[in-house]
Amino acid sequence: MANSKIRLSVVIIAVIVALMAASTVNAKPTDPLIQVWNAINNLQQQVDDLRNITIDLQNQISNIELIPGPQGIKGDTGDQGPPGISSWERVSATSGNGIDSYKSITVSCTGNKKVLGGGVTHSYRSGSLPIIYDSYPSSDNTWTASVSVEPGKYETWNMTVWAICATVS
């Protein structure tokens, strides 16, 4: 059904084009079909001209070289910036290997540095997963973590607590 509609449309268009082509020999400029035909051809030519102008402008723009101007005068000194962070370090401590079911470690930043973050790792691999009870900044310059494992499992394990510290001004 769709193909027959397409074929019919193509036939109608072909007939119109043929009639217009044949009628241009004897057609008068005032015939409505000739006027429409000429208007369509005129618009198509204008579209083609605009397309060519656009391509030409795009080519001209892509060939423009930007040349820097002379150095400007030195400006005023700006305001003091906000305080920042410097001299960061990572501190850590590892427990001894043992079969304890609970371990806790606190690490401290050096000097007057403040703790920015931290964490804990463990080496326990048997049975159920260990429980990390705590992992937190216990003061401005310390990080504490506590880990517990299933009691009665006789595997040696350890834990490492670490903290990121820095001078904060």
Residue 75 within a domain: no
CATH number at residue 123: 2.60.40
Taking only the tens place, the pLDDT of each residue in 3-51 is: 555 555 544 565 565 555 555 555 565 677 778 778 888 888 888 888 8
Question: What pLDDT shows up at residue 61?
Answer: 82
**Do residues 93 and 118 make contact, with C-beta atoms less than 8 angstroms apart?**
no
Taking only the tens place, the pLDDT of each residue in 2-11 is 555 555 554 4
Neighbours of 159 (CB within 10 A): 23
Query: Whole-prediction pTM value?
Result: 0.52
Q: Say yes or no: 100 and 48 in one domain.
A: no
Same-domain check for residues 92 and 163: yes
Chain centroid to CA 35 = 55
* Co-location of 58 and 113 in the same domain: no
pLDDT in tens, 70-95: 999 999 999 988 888 999 999 999 99
Are 164 and 89 in a shared domain? yes
Same domain, 91 and 37: no
- Region 103-110: mean pLDDT is 97
Domain residues for the domain of 146 are 85-168
| Overall number of domains in the chain | 2
